[in-house]
Amino acid sequence: MTTEYKYLIESLRRRRFLQTSGALGLAAASGVLPQIVYAQGKKILKMRTYADMRSLDPAHSQGIVDEEIQSAIYSKLIQYKPGREWGWELDAAESIEQVDGTHIKFKLKPGIMFTNGYGEMTAEDVKYSFERILDEAIESTNTPDWGSLKEVSVDGKYAGTIVFNEPYPPAWNIALPYIVGNIICKKAWEEAGGKVDTTTPCTSGPYVHQEWQPKQKTILARNPDWYGGSAAFDEIHIFPIDDENTAQIAFESGDIDFTRLSLSAVGNLKASPPENSTIDEYPSLYYVWVGMNVENEVTANQNLRKAIQHCIDVPSILQASYFGAADAATGIIAPGLTGHRAQSMVPPAADIAKAKEYLAAAGMEGGATVTLDVLNKAANVTTAQIIQATCAEAGINVDVNMHESGAFWSLGDSSAGERYKDVQLILNRFSMGPDPSYATAWFITDQRGIWNWEWFSNEEFDKLEAAAKAEADQAARDEMYQRMQDLMEDSGAYRFITHEATPVIYRNSIKPALRPDGLPLLRHFTPA
Amino acid sequence: MIGILKRITREPLGLIGLSLVVLMLVSALLAGLIAPYDPIELAIIDRLQAPSANHLLGTDQLGRDLFSRVLYGGQVALKVALVSIGAALGIGVLLGMIAGFGPRWLDNFIMLFFDTIRSFPTVMFALATVALVGPSLETVIAVIIVTTIPNYGRVVRTQTLSIKSNEFIKAERAMGASTTRMLGVHVLPNVMGPLMILASMDIPTVIALEAGLSFLGMGVKPPTPSWGSILNDGFGLIRNTPWPIIAGSIPLVLITLGFTFLGESLRDQIDPKLRRNL
């Protein structure tokens, strides 16, 4: 072969390569090619979570991130149903029924197999999974989710009864379909010494845990033996990305197929969305409020607290801190949940005249000075400055103290020193599950100095909180939780701000499945 | 002094540096007259506006005029720089001269103190202090003073030790001159030149440190405008608007360049070994 001929061949190959790759690039850019990765013929879903996985043991699950993974690899008797309304659907249970206030009978589907040769799931596995959460030796952080669970009795190979000491309606909302409802294999766990961490001996869901690269990604792979058929994706790659702006960049560059967005990004993205993508907005269960310490010598004055309630202009906060993408909260229980109030006692808009009346009643016509502690995140600092400005109109000087995360979360903790006594106003934000008891539990008298940083104490509230958890009548329950929020607000110790919102963006090549609060249910994601 | 200034203005970099520093000083001192808006007044309806005739640098997420906030932020930067560098210089000179002129044990003790302070990374020391006592402008100034003292103290000590062994000092001592006189008349004038260069070089570092702490939410408290807090506000909104980031960055860049050019020019003029026109 002559040199010229060789050059010609190479040149043609190069040209052909450039033409082909150029055409492929154009096709991809124009959306002709599907965006789902088909590397080596695999269908891979690429997700983002806000934190890294911490545990694959339901007893030690650290919240949403762990649960997103666990709900894809383990089975539960029932699972949350994707959609805009809270509800559940059967998973491992063939049937499940509340037979009376304290008993739930269930029957497992036969033939649900654990991976790695651990055999079929039986009622003994359900008993072991649920009861170990109560075992003090396990030191589960999720014990409260089971409420008054007494035991699980085994009525047959597949049948059993969940027995409570007293009625526990939240079991259907925050226990059975959530973290503590994951069913593990008794035999495998006993062989592992009763506890696992970031690996798991066996699973039974549509996916199996394949690999965890700390701070990099978690890989789930299709479980070929899943009783429900074939999972939609060969693999799910889950990337921990803390910052939502970074996640947005990752989405725009094609590195991920689904992410939650920051509220600040929604407006721009809606105006100019990335190609082949969809933005959906969901309400959130978070609740944000300004708490006032009733035990502090300054904010012990109820009229001062009420003056501050009327000074805080929630619409301005929603506009500036939440970019108009969130609604005003009427309490701590989000819309769509039992106990949600249609409106708050103090209207969202500030009423400076009324605030001045309360200030006069407080004996502080000349004004007052209070401190406001906030976590040094952008939305919080912006909110604090709006509060500062509107309070100033009524003559209340607000001194804003910003704290980094570690310092902030120990502010009201009475076991961490005497600092909690100096807390006056605090801008706070809690997450919750889809049951009102998840929100009210932190404001009872026993929680003072733990999570009740306002030191709010009300006998009626405490009684209602205990009674509502055990109330099976939904209408009565609804009324009780509404009354509890009335008591909180009437104390002057709380000014409810918002429940925030959950905007998400996803590639049109996938069909996401989300809870009503916008959190992903990975097992239900499918290609479009 | 006038001679030095004249020589500085003859050099392009010196002139640029001096002009930037003067611009910063004047705009900060006259912020109350120049600023078109109250820097802390909210106007949420006008939030996140791009630069316009009404708002030269646009507005932030609370509708505050960024140009006004930058001008007032200069006051914070100036206050931090002058107060902290001034105090550190004063204490450093005093301790440095005591260490250089005093007994050996005192010298060792002061040097141990300097080394101890310098062993802490400045930012970590600042973060730890702020976490303990809470964020405020005073805390930032105190942290900067403490961490900067050794810079000046060491220079002064070295110069003092060097001057102390000179014949004329021995002669002064033989004639019964007091230590105060020897330090004030002979040592101090000889160390002031290098210290001025060092101080002018430290000013942008100090301003950047204050901005850094404010950026982390550990500097000045809201609603006081600071270049760092403007940057912090802008960082969260960078996907929405670049203007707060630009507004917060411009003065930091200019002041860093200004003091660096001025310091280098000053060094060229004061230090004969480095003076280029010799």
pLDDT tens-place string over residues B239-263:
888 999 999 999 999 999 999 898 8
Question: Which helix H or strand E contains A278, and what residues bound it?
Answer: strand A277-283
Question: What pLDDT, on the 0 to 100 scale, is given for residue B214?
Answer: 87
Tell whether A481 and A511 lie within a shared domain. no
Which residues on chain B are in Cβ contact (under 8 Å) with A321? 61
Q: Determine, yes or no, domain membership for A102.
A: yes
Contact status, residue B77 vs residue B251, Cβ threshold 8 Å: yes
Question: What pLDDT, on the 0 to 100 scale, is given for residue A28?
Answer: 46
Q: Measured between alpha carbons, how far is A183 from A472 in angstroms, rounded to an integer?
A: 25
Task: Report the b/e string of B163-197 with b at 16+ CB within 10 A.
Answer: bbeeeebeebeeeeeeeeebbeebbbeebbbbbbb
Asked whether the beta carbons of residue B131 and residue A245 sit closer than 8 angstroms, the reply is no
Asked whether the beta carbons of residue B134 and residue A401 sit closer than 8 angstroms, the reply is yes
Sequence spans of domains, chain B: 2-270
Give the closest of B44, B134, B135 to A316, CB-based. B44
**3-state class (DSSP) for residue A359:** helix
Task: Report the b/e string of A47-78 with b at 16+ CB within 10 A.
Answer: bbbeebbebbbbbbbeebbbbbbbbbbbbbbb
Question: What pLDDT, on the 0 to 100 scale, is given for residue A41?
Answer: 77
Chain B, 58-87: which have a CB under 8 Å from a chain A CB? 61-63
Size (chain B), residues:
278
Would an 8 Å CB–CB cutoff place A416 in contact with chain B?
no
Q: Which candidate in B48, B239, B240, B245 is best for mutational testing of the A interface (most A CBs within 10 A)?
A: B239
Chain A, 270-329: which have a CB under 8 Å from a chain B CB? 316, 319-321
Residues 6+ apart with CB under 8 A from B37: B55, B64, B65, B67, B68
Distances from the Cα of A296 to the Cαs of A292, A422, A453, A516, in angstroms? 9, 7, 11, 39
The span from the first CA to the last CA of chain B, in angstroms, equals 18
Angle CA B60–B66–B67, to nearest 5? 170
Residues 6+ apart with CB under 8 A from B30: none
Question: What pLDDT, on the 0 to 100 scale, is given for residue B274?
Answer: 53
Q: Tens of pLDDT along chain A (528 residues)?
A: 334 444 444 444 544 444 544 544 444 444 444 455 555 678 999 999 989 999 999 999 887 899 999 999 999 999 999 999 999 999 999 999 999 999 999 999 999 999 999 999 999 999 999 999 999 999 898 898 999 999 999 999 999 999 999 999 999 999 999 999 999 999 999 999 998 999 999 999 999 999 999 999 999 999 999 999 999 999 999 999 988 889 999 999 999 999 999 888 888 888 888 999 999 999 999 999 999 999 999 999 999 999 999 999 999 999 999 999 899 999 999 999 999 999 999 999 999 999 999 999 999 988 999 999 999 888 899 999 999 999 999 999 999 998 888 888 889 988 878 889 999 999 999 988 899 999 999 999 999 999 999 999 999 999 999 999 999 899 999 999 999 999 999 999 999 999 999 999 999 999 999 999 999 999 999 999
**3-state class (DSSP) for residue A266:** helix
Query: What tokens appear for B100 in the block?
Result: 């250089």
Distances from the Cα of B32 to the Cαs of B20, B58, B88, B149, in angstroms? 19, 19, 28, 32
Report how many domains make up chain A.
Answer: 2
Query: What tokens appear for B220 in the block?
Result: 């000045």
Q: Measured between alpha carbons, how far is A68 from A220 in angstroms, rounded to an integer?
A: 11
The residues that bridge with A278 in the sheet, in sequence order, are A506
CA-nearest of A387, A405, A407, A395 to A497 is A387
CA-nearest of A100, A91, A160, A170 to A130 is A160
Q: What is the pLDDT of residues A336-395, one digit of tens each?
A: 999 999 999 999 999 999 999 999 999 998 899 999 999 988 889 999 999 999 999 999
ipTM of the complex: 0.79
Instruction: Please state the separation of Cα B100 from the chain's center in Å.
Output: 25
**Helices and strands, number each (H, E), in chain A:** 14, 22
Query: What tokens appear for A472 in the block?
Result: 């099976």
Question: Based on C-alpha coordinates, what's the Rg of chain B?
Answer: 22
Give the closest of B44, B222, B238 to A245, CB-based. B238
Tell whether A95 and A235 lie within a shared domain. yes
Question: What pLDDT, on the 0 to 100 scale, is given for residue A331?
Answer: 97
Give the closest of A265, A267, A388 to B222, CB-based. A388
Which residues on chain A are in Cβ contact (under 8 Å) with B217? 376, 381, 402, 404
Tell whether A137 and A244 lie within a shared domain. yes
Distances from the Cα of A9 to the Cαs of A4, A6, A18, A20, B219, in angstroms? 9, 5, 14, 16, 66
Would an 8 Å CB–CB cutoff place B196 in contact with chain A?
no
Give the closest of A320, A400, A406 to B222, CB-based. A400
Tell whether A512 and A396 lie within a shared domain. no
Q: Closest-CA residue in chain B for A397? A: B223
Give the closest of A264, A386, A402 to B62, CB-based. A386
- A185 backbone dihedrals φ, ψ, rounded to 5°: -90, 120
Tell whether A217 and A317 lie within a shared domain. no
Q: Determine, yes or no, domain membership for A376.
A: yes
Q: How many CB atoms lie within 10 A of CB A459?
A: 9
Q: What is the mean pLDDT of chain B?
A: 88
Is the N-terminal amide bond of B223 cis, ω within 30° of 0? yes
Q: Closest-CA residue in chain B for A374? A: B217
Q: Measure A361 CA to nearest chain B CA, in Å.
A: 28
The residues that bridge with A403 in the sheet, in sequence order, are A375
HSE, side-chain direction, 13 A CA sphere, residue A264 = 21
Asked whether the beta carbons of residue B235 and residue A378 sit closer than 8 angstroms, the reply is yes
Would an 8 Å CB–CB cutoff place B50 in contact with chain A?
no
Chain B, 115-134: which have a CB under 8 Å from a chain A CB? 127, 131, 134
Query: What tokens appear for A183 in the block?
Result: 């069913």
**Helices and strands, number each (H, E), in chain B:** 12, 0
Question: Based on C-alpha coordinates, what's the Rg of chain A?
Answer: 27
Which residues on chain B are in Cβ contact (under 8 Å) with A398? none
Q: Measure B221 CA to nearest chain A CA, in Å.
A: 6
- The DSSP code for B49 is P
Q: Measured between alpha carbons, how far is A462 from A467 in angstroms, rounded to an integer?
A: 9
**3-state class (DSSP) for residue A100:** strand
The position carrying tokens 């009210």 is: A440
Would an 8 Å CB–CB cutoff place A508 in contact with chain B?
no
Q: Determine, yes or no, domain membership for A3.
A: no
CA-nearest of A395, A459, A393, A391 to A425 is A391
Contact status, residue A527 vs residue A510, Cβ threshold 8 Å: yes
Residues 6+ apart with CB under 8 A from A117: none
Please give the residue that has the higher pLDDT: either B217 or B13.
B13
Tell whether A401 and A309 lie within a shared domain. yes
Tell whether A195 and A117 lie within a shared domain. yes
Q: How many CB atoms lie within 10 A of CB A343?
A: 10
Tell whether A225 and A323 lie within a shared domain. no
- H helix intervals, A239-330: 244-252, 263-271, 302-311, 314-321
Question: What pLDDT, on the 0 to 100 scale, is given for residue B251?
Answer: 94
Would an 8 Å CB–CB cutoff place A265 in contact with chain B?
yes
Question: Which helix H or strand E contains B151, and what residues bound it?
Answer: helix B137-164
Tell whether A473 and A401 lie within a shared domain. yes
Instruction: State the pTM of this model.
Output: 0.81
Q: Which candidate in A262, A264, A369 is best for mutational testing of the B interface (most B CBs within 10 A)?
A: A264
CATH fold of B2-270 reads MetI-like fold (1.10.3720)
The position carrying tokens 């040592």 is: B187
Q: Determine, yes or no, domain membership for A58.
A: yes
Would an 8 Å CB–CB cutoff place B238 in contact with chain A?
yes
Size (chain A), residues:
528
Give the closest of B218, B222, B240 to A384, CB-based. B222
Which residues on chain B are in Cβ contact (under 8 Å) with A248? 239
Would an 8 Å CB–CB cutoff place A405 in contact with chain B?
no
CA-nearest of B123, B138, B133, B128 to B209 is B123
Q: Measure B123 CA to nearest chain A CA, in Å.
A: 15
Question: What pLDDT, on the 0 to 100 scale, is given for residue A445?
Answer: 96
Dihedral (Cα; A53, A57, A59, A63), 10-degree rounding? 20
Specify the amino acid at residue B91.
I
**3-state class (DSSP) for residue B231:** helix
Which residues on chain A are in Cβ contact (under 8 Å) with B222? 381, 384-385, 388, 400, 402
Tell whether A254 and A333 lie within a shared domain. no
Asked whether the beta carbons of residue A402 and residue B221 sit closer than 8 angstroms, the reply is yes
Distances from the Cα of A263 to the Cαs of A26, A60, A312, A319, A499, in angstroms? 32, 31, 21, 11, 12
CA-nearest of A346, A392, A317, A323 to A486 is A346
Strand ranges, E, within A125-229: 149-154, 159-164, 182-183, 207-213, 217-222
The position carrying tokens 């039992």 is: A338
Question: Which helix H or strand E contains A426, and what residues bound it?
Answer: strand A425-430
Would an 8 Å CB–CB cutoff place A349 in contact with chain B?
no
Domain of residue A460 covers: 287-499
Tell whether A76 and A200 lie within a shared domain. yes
Tell whether A211 and A360 lie within a shared domain. no
The residues that bridge with A113 in the sheet, in sequence order, are A120
Q: Looking at residue A378, which CATH number applies to its domain? A: 3.10.105.10
Which residues on chain B are in Cβ contact (under 8 Å) with A380? none
Instruction: Please state the separation of Cα A527 from the chain's center in Å.
Output: 24
Question: What pLDDT, on the 0 to 100 scale, is given for residue A174?
Answer: 92
Residues 6+ apart with CB under 8 A from B166: none
